[in-house]
A and B are shown apart, each in its own frame.
Chain A
Amino acid sequence: MENLNSYLVISAVLFSIGTIGVLTRKNAIVIFMCIELMLNAVNLTFVAFSRHLGNLDGQVFVFFIMTVAAAEAAVGLALIIAFYNNKESIDVDDVNLMKW
């Protein structure tokens, strides 16, 4: 547990995978999962620094982030279901009414 760097590297890798997933995937659920991945990469950073610095503030932040992520998942899934009811699809390319 002494090596902060390895945690940060894992976290950065996870975050990048999430980002690339959000940018490249079309399936709304997959994008959603990628966002969760990004959030949890950040959580990992917070916890690693908290441990390294001996300060609990970072862990408090993580709880907040998990709460917000839960709320976000609820709203997001509801949106996806509503969208699916209309279009029989959860492909984000079909969500394109608001364009030029």
Chain B
Amino acid sequence: MFDNVWLIPLFPLIGFLINGLFGKKIKNEAVIGGIGTLMIFLSFLVSCGILMQMIGLPPEQRVFEKVVFPWIHSGHFKADMAFLIDPLSCIMIMVVTGVGTLIHLYSIGYMHGEEGFYRFFAYLNLFCMSMLLLVLGSNMLVMFIGWEGVGLCSYLLIGYYFHKKSAGDAAKKAFVMNRVGDFGFLIGLFTLYWWFGSNHNIWTVNFMEIKAASHLLPYGGVVTVATLCFFVGATGKSAQIPLFTWLPDAMEGPTPVSALIHAATMVTAGVYMIARMSFVFVKSPETMMVIAVIGAATAIFAATIGTAQNDIKRVLAYSTVSQLGFMFLAMGVGAFSAGIFHLMTHAFFKACLFLGSGSVIHSMHHALHKIHSHDDAQDMRNMGGLRSAMPITFVTFLVSTIAIAGIPGFSGFFSKDEILWQAFANPYHGDLNIVLWGTGAIAACFTAFYMFRLVFMTFFGESRINPKAKSYLHESPLVITIPLMVLGALAVVGGYIGMPKILGMLPNYFEHWLDPVFALATEYSHKYVSHAAHPSHALEWSLMGLSVVIALVGIGIAFTMYVKNTALPGKFVATFPALHRAVYNKWYVDELYDYLFVNPCKALGQFLWKGFDVVIIDGVVNGVANVVMGFSGIFRYLQSGYLYNYALSMALGVVVMLGYFIFK
């Protein structure tokens, strides 16, 4: 089965080619959607086969590299089109193909009747192929192809409704910000390659070869430079401070795109990349600290913005940014498997949340369209009381919300609590650890608050939709609700494979599964982290209890404000107008970036256009022409049009020449 790993990216590629080249002619939506879904489902089956085979192997043999074909061999440099299968990439391909299949299926229903249906599925398949290349690549270059490919597909899909200016702008913003990150990724890659090559004559970009040679890397120094560059790449792709503002705007794309690309898979690429190179990152305590701080800061920063947004998808977008912050926090405190675990559970419940919001929007849009209303179908202020009209969507949405809020028994609790516990207990950053934990805990409280605010505003209370449209609200078709139910179920049970040891019911399969991948990183960390004084079980229990209390507090506040006493939010806004305005306007980060980067860039562009291009470049070109024209303006008077003038000048010329030869 391992030998067939190349089939996994190949199937979506075939789907992309079929739908991309012939989709316009096929026209039949069932065929186009069927091909797209089938292809990614086939990849899922192959991934399952690989997972089964890997489970059958003893842990130390769970690494396999498959060279599909030699790619670039030039001097010292060698990069093959090769795939790496280990427990980490195994989890990633399962998430990408599994969630991907469900979202493809959902899209058949959601995108029904859209113009460019085939285009959507072609891009979606291309995205899956790129993402699979990213997670399977056995060297940094293959990973980079995938890295760029997912960025491209993200751009294409955000701008899917390209006739809307806002969608085009959002797509460009996402692309440009990702490019900033990609630049960091490349510099990091070059730095690492150059250091190994020039110091130890190991010219390699292959992960396994770097891992084997990683004991040569110093602590800090050049590793800090390289890993910080890689981390810049990760912030771009995974929407962390400072490069996070593109993700909320990316909600201009169709909802399945938000679920697949901007919640479950692509945005986790940065987390995956750090996990993949954990043995390099952990060698730089400084970088680890930067990652942890940025992660925690993003988690709380985005969570605060999420509390004041009214667009249902924007709330989820900020929630995604915040949850990604949790993952980076985990990476930064050396809790790699907890981070990857949260990546997986987040993929389940956030995909479910996005698809659920898509189902709501679908129904709202339909109902508002029927009465020719131009109300915003995504604005939660137009919703309310949808519980009875859309029971399946409601239940799955509620389950996922409970999971993300961190209520025990649901997947989000296990993963998020593990991260918070490790942020507290892994003594990577000394006194900073308690700050990291505290920030994470407050962010978790905000998470519970804004998610339940969303649920209460959407599904509970009085219906605020135009009364005429109310009777048109209905549950979505099965093709939409089946993925919701599957993902909802996963949001509940997905956490049990990674249950913390202390709960004692099940061993933490997930951590053991990833042990071989992260063992080396943990070993390196012993150099500057002492794991000797392990906090007691009592402390772990009490922190766990505390985080449950925190989540309940968040839910309680949301309940009070949006169900019991709905006048409270208005009063709150009236009491703190400045605070509300700042949060509502996303802390003015976009405006700050406009001021700091966008406007200076525009001014520079204006100068280069009006100053340099028009005056200097055009000046030189036009100047040459003007000089020629000036001279010809003088000489053209010789061209009198009278034949005898020409004849006379010829005769005079002959006389002069003869005279010269005779009298010289």
Contacts and interface: CB of A to CB of B under 8 A. Distances in A.
A22 interface: yes
A24 B644 contact: yes
A89 to B, nearest CB: 13
Contacts of A95: 641, 643
A100 B636 contact: yes
Interface string B630-664: 00000011011111100110010000000000000
A98 B643 contact: no
Contacts of A23: 644, 647-648, 651
A92 interface: yes
Contact of A19 (B640, B641, B642, B651): B651
B639 A92 contact: no
B641 A96 contact: yes
Given A22-B644, A92-B643, 19 more contacts: A22-B647, A23-B644, A23-B647, A23-B648, A31-B643, A92-B642, A93-B642, A95-B641, A95-B643, A96-B641, A96-B642, A97-B641, A98-B639, A98-B641, A99-B639, A99-B640, A99-B641, A100-B636, A100-B637
A94 to B, nearest CB: 10
Interface of A: 19, 22-24, 31, 92-93, 95-100
A24 to B, nearest CB: 7
Contacts of B651: 19, 23
A14 to B, nearest CB: 15
Contacts of B647: 22-23
Contacts of A98: 639, 641
A97 B644 CA distance: 15
Interface string B615-634: 00000000000000000000
Contacts of B642: 92-93, 96
A3 B96 CA distance: 115
B418 to A, nearest CB: 90
A95 B647 CA distance: 14
Residue from B636, B637, B640, B641 having most chain A Cβ neighbours under 10 A: B641
Interface of B: 636-637, 639-644, 647-648, 651
A64 B104 CA distance: 91
A98 B647 CA distance: 15
A22 to B, nearest CB: 5
The 7 closest A-B pairs by CB, nearest first: A99-B641, A96-B641, A100-B636, A92-B643, A23-B644, A99-B639, A100-B639
A19 B649 CA distance: 12
Residue from B637, B640, B643, B647 having most chain A Cβ neighbours under 10 A: B643
A23 B642 CA distance: 10
Contacts of A99: 639-641
A19 B640 CA distance: 20
Contacts of A93: 642-643
A16 B641 CA distance: 24
B641 to A, nearest CB: 3
Contacts of B639: 98-100
A82 B627 CA distance: 39
9 contacts: A22-B644, A23-B648, A31-B643, A93-B642, A96-B641, A99-B640, A99-B641, A100-B636, A100-B639
A24 B643 CA distance: 9
Contacts of B636: 100
A65 B641 CA distance: 29
Nearest to B640: A99
B648 to A, nearest CB: 5
A99 B644 CA distance: 13
Contacts of B648: 23
Contacts of A22: 644, 647
B638 to A, nearest CB: 8
A10 B375 CA distance: 108
A84 B164 CA distance: 66
Nearest to A22: B647
B652 to A, nearest CB: 10
A19 B651 CA distance: 8
A22 B644 CA distance: 7
A36 B217 CA distance: 98
A29 to B, nearest CB: 13
A93 B640 CA distance: 10
A95 B644 CA distance: 12
Nearest to B648: A23
Nearest to A35: B647
A100 B642 CA distance: 11
A99 B642 CA distance: 9
Nearest to A19: B651
A96 B644 CA distance: 12
B651 to A, nearest CB: 6
Contacts of B640: 99-100
A24 B648 CA distance: 9
A23 B651 CA distance: 9
A93 to B, nearest CB: 6
Nearest to B633: A100
Nearest to B635: A100
Contacts of A92: 642-644
A27 to B, nearest CB: 11
Contacts of B637: 100
A93 B644 CA distance: 9
B645 to A, nearest CB: 9
A5 to B, nearest CB: 19
Nearest to B654: A19
A18 B642 CA distance: 18
Nearest to A92: B643
A19 B644 CA distance: 10
Nearest to B632: A100
Residue from A24, A96, A97, A100 having most chain B Cβ neighbours under 10 A: A100
Nearest to B636: A100
Nearest to A97: B641
